[in-house]
Every structure is written in structure tokens, then in C-alpha cells.
Amino acid sequence: MAAADPFAAAAAQEILAAGGSVADALVAAQAVLAVVAPNACGLGGDMLCLVREPGGRTRAFNGTGAAPRHLKSISDDGGASVTVPGMVSAWCSLLDAYGRMPLYQVLEPAVRLARLKMPMPPSLVHAVQQHRARLERNGAAQWELLSAAAGDLVVQEELAMTLDRIGKEGRHAFYSGVCANAIVRAVQAHGGDLDLEDLASHQTVVADPISVGFRGMRLLVQPPISQGVLLAMSAKALSALGDIPLDRIDHAGIELTEASFAFRDRIAEGESLLDMPLTVDLDKAANRGGPRAYLHTAGVSVADRHGYCISSLVSVFDDFGSGVFVPECGFTLNNRAGGFTAAPNDAAPGKRPVHTLAPAILETPRGPLALSTPGADGQVQTLLQVISALVMEKMDLAKAIDRPRWRSENGRLLIEKSHGRREILASLGHAVTEMPDGDMRAGAVTAAGIIDGAPVACADWRRTTWAGVV
């Protein structure tokens, strides 16, 4: 398995070693991420995952939430930016289908870490410093994390109690009762419209994935409302170019991902978008401009010797989401309503916005690989680079993840300093801007899968991703 933090990877290993399933391990890792990386994800956020069974069937779990039924307005932070948190419900749906352990046992590593002191990560200290004003404005002034220095041992007792209740009572501990009332109170105190019925009526959506051929392999992505279809569109168009020169693969990927984002607001059309043509001139940049710059989220990928394979992402959208803190429960709420844009992705009561989370599974002749990365709109770009390296350049998984990357963002082409094709891309007309090797905008891939019948895992050296086996 591979996860966005060593503590999360350790939790997944603990659960697998105790006889848990890949789904049990996945939830254990995600719960730990909610403790150690609340700037990126948490109980107030969302989860999407793809589960590939040994026989080849894949199911897509959409743990995102809708805007309030009585929505009056939206914003980028504060109460009006909050949609129904979907992660806890998705955990329960996933474990109902694939779990082997009771939920309280799956969540025990996270409860233990929250209650028995978490070492404060330097990256979290930095995030708190950057967002202190908006956190304090939205009710988090007394949150233990705001006064902690790097390395301090922090107790998050309210979060531990919330996780403990969820473990013992299931989804009802979150979507009704004390926790639901606390969420609604916090949202409405900071200008939002979420109410108890919004929470009580929430359901996880389980559906078939979208699939597309890629050089004799099959790429599986989340259906709407995830923008995974943009990855499928780009991969299909790249595959159709045939055997292009190696020094044009990056250029083609840049052009095709930029072209795919023209359809972002239409993602609800789903698989039909695969018929839309994406154009590329292999000798000239069109300079269509890349998508917006959001840099958050955390990934977990898990596989086992039985042939199960899961790719997942969890997120609260921006750092600390809306900034709205639920003091009785110890977490902040998402600001996913900020994902609404122009029609048909415009805001409306009870509607889900287009979602950046786009986990993927690549079915290869040697077995399936689960791939995920943070980076919001950059996820499509990072994953296409890894997939094209694996398939078109015949790299092994570790090398495909390790090599330098590019990211098209806000009209610039950001390229890691050691990338070997910077000059070529500049000569083709791209507005090349150097970024440091390991810059968070390059993503942080978590990968796990089955190769020749054996489970494998690989992490990215970027950020704090970690891989392990049991």
C-alpha cells in the first residue's frame, strides 16, 4: 500500500497484518490522514475511490456531498462554502461491501494517534501560519493545532471522541445526533445554509467507472461528478496519436490536458465526452492555458495478494477547507461549494459541484495498478505523465513516478528544474517557468497494484508519501 503520510501507511499495514481487507486498510489510512493532515483532508471533507475486484469488476464510490437544499448563496470560504461532508458515509458504504473488520477496530489507529499525542508536522505548522486569520475568523481560535510548534506532541481529544463514536455507531454518529447538530450550528453561525435534513438525507453514490483504451491497456476513472473523465479524454486522444517521437510526448500531454479542461463545466455529461475531439499540433503550442491552481488533497492506494486493488483520494478542497471549525468534534469543514463555476456547473440547491478528485486504475497485461495524486486540477496532468511513461516510454513504475514533471497552470508551463525537455518545450512555444524539483505543484503519486500475481506498492519522493507491504 501507499499513502500520503508514514503514519497512514503504518495504520494500513497494521490492519492488513491483523487480517483486515484492502478496504479496511484504506479506511484506516484515511482516518489517520484526517488526524495528521487536517489541512488537506478530514471528517468534514470527501472521499472518492475505485475498487477493482479480482475478477475484473470495478466499482466507483462517490463520497462527495451536495449543496444545501435551501441554498441562498455560495462563497469560497466560511459557512456558505460548505457542502455535505461525504467521507464518513463513503467509509461505511465501502466497508459494507468489502470490509472484514468492525469499524471501531479499523479506526483504532487514528483514535490512538489523536488521543495519545501526534507529533506536529512542519508542513502542518506552515499551513496553520498561512491560514491562521481565516481559521480564527471561522471559529478555530482555540484549536490545539493553532498554538503548536513543529515537533510538539498534540492531543486532539475532540477528534478522537468523534472517531470513536463513528467506530462504535457507524454513519449515524456523524449524520445525526450530537455531531450533526454541531456541524449545522458551526455552518449557520458563519453564514451557511446547511441543515440537519441535508446531513440525514446524504447517500454515497456507487456506480460503474468510465473506461477507455490506452495502447492496448484499459484506463478506469471515476464517473461524474469527478473530473476523471478529463483524464480519460486526454489518454484516449494521446493513444490515438500513434507512435509519436519521445520528445513530443510531454508536449502532446500538455496540449491535450489543456484542451480537455475546456469541457470541465460539462463533466456531468460523462462518457459522452469521450467522443469530443481534442486537437494537438505536435510542432507548436496552442497556449490555451492550464486550469486553476489548487494544491491540496491526500491519496491512498492499496492492493493485496487476493487481487483486490483500490485507488482513492480524500480532501477538504482548499487548505482547511472552508476554515469553519466544529469545536465539539475537532475538525474543519470543506469548502467544496467553491467548485461551482459556470453553467452547467453552476450552483443550485441539492446539487453536487464538479469535483477535482480523480483516482484511477490502469489495467496492464501484468495486472492492475491503482494510481492517485493530490493537486486538484493538476491530478489529470500528473497521472497522464505517469501513465504515458509506463505505457509509451516503457518505464517501470518507480522510474515513472520519480522522473521530473510539468504542470500547466494559469497560462504558464511550470517545469521541475531537472526536467530534461525544458528547452524543447520552450522551443515549441510553451511559456516555460522553472519550479524547484519536488515542488508540491508536481503532485505526489501513491501507487499500489498487482504485477505478475504479486502485490506491489510505490510512493513518490515528493511531499511525505510512503509505501509499505505486509
pLDDT computed for residue 468 by the predictor = 85
The rounded percent of the chain whose pLDDT value lies above 70 is 99
CA 205 to CA 88: how far, in whole Å? 13
Read off φ and ψ for residue 157, nearest 5 degrees: -65, -40
CA 45 to CA 152: how far, in whole Å? 26
354-377 residue pLDDT tens: 999 999 999 999 999 999 998 888
pLDDT interval class at 469 (50, 70, 90): confident
Other beta carbons within 10 angstroms of residue 158's beta carbon come to: 18
Q: Is 348 exposed, middle or buried (0-12, 13-18, 19+ CB in 10 A)?
A: middle
Q: Give kind and range of the element (H or E) at residue 331.
A: strand 331-332
92-125 residue pLDDT tens: 999 999 999 999 999 999 999 999 989 999 999 9
CA 364 to CA 387: how far, in whole Å? 11
CA 304 to CA 1: how far, in whole Å? 8
pLDDT interval class at 296 (50, 70, 90): confident
Match 491562521 to its residue by C-alpha cell.
132
Q: Which three cell numbers stand for residue 38?
A: 487536517
pLDDT computed for residue 295 by the predictor = 59
Please provide the average confidence, as pLDDT, over all residues in the chain: 95
On the question of a cis peptide bond just before residue 353, with omega within 30 degrees of 0, the verdict is no
**CA separation (Å) from 51 to 21, 72, 139, 208, 468?**
12, 36, 37, 10, 19
pLDDT computed for residue 353 by the predictor = 96
CA 294 to CA 319: how far, in whole Å? 9
pLDDT computed for residue 294 by the predictor = 58
Q: Which three cell numbers stand for residue 206?
A: 456507487
Is pLDDT larger for residue 293 or for residue 48?
A: 48
Q: Which three cell numbers stand for residue 305?
A: 495478494
pLDDT computed for residue 293 by the predictor = 59
Match 478496504 to its residue by C-alpha cell.
23
Provide DSSP, 383-452: HHHHHHHHHTS---HHHHHHS--EEEETTEEEEETT-TTHHHHHHTT--EEEE-TT-GGG---EEEEEET
225: CB partners within 8 A, 6+ apart: 62, 64, 267, 268, 352, 353, 354, 355
Q: Which three cell numbers stand for residue 43?
A: 471528517
Beta bridge partners of 466: 3
Q: Are strands 432-435 and 412-416 parallel, antiparallel or unpaired?
A: parallel
Give residue limits of the domains in the chain: 2-206+296-339, 208-295+358-467
170-192 residue pLDDT tens: 999 999 999 999 999 999 999 99
Closest CA to 436 of 456, 410, 412, 462: 462
pLDDT computed for residue 376 by the predictor = 80
Mean pLDDT of 412-435: 95
Side chain identity at residue 167, one-letter code? G
**CA separation (Å) from 355 to 164, 195, 239, 276, 342?**
29, 22, 25, 20, 14
Superfamily name and number for 208-295+358-467: Gamma-glutamyltranspeptidase, small (S) subunit (3.60.20.40)
pTM of the model as a whole = 0.96
Half-sphere exposure of 371 (CA within 13 A, CB side): 28
First-to-final CA distance of the chain:
9
Match 447538530 to its residue by C-alpha cell.
181
pLDDT computed for residue 196 by the predictor = 98
H helices of 118-248, in order, are: 122-137, 157-169, 172-175, 177-189, 196-200, 228-240
Q: Are strands 298-303 and 2-3 parallel, antiparallel or unpaired?
A: antiparallel
384: CB partners within 8 A, 6+ apart: 231, 234, 235, 238, 253, 256, 257
CA 336 to CA 403: how far, in whole Å? 32
DSSP secondary structure code for residue 51 in this structure: E
pLDDT computed for residue 172 by the predictor = 97
376-423 residue pLDDT tens: 888 999 999 999 999 999 999 999 999 999 999 988 999 999 999 999
Provide DSSP, 256-304: HHHHHGGGGGGGGGGGGGGGS----BTTB-------------EEEEEE-
Mean pLDDT of 217-228: 96
Q: Do residues 17 and 314 touch, judged by C-beta distance below 8 A?
A: no
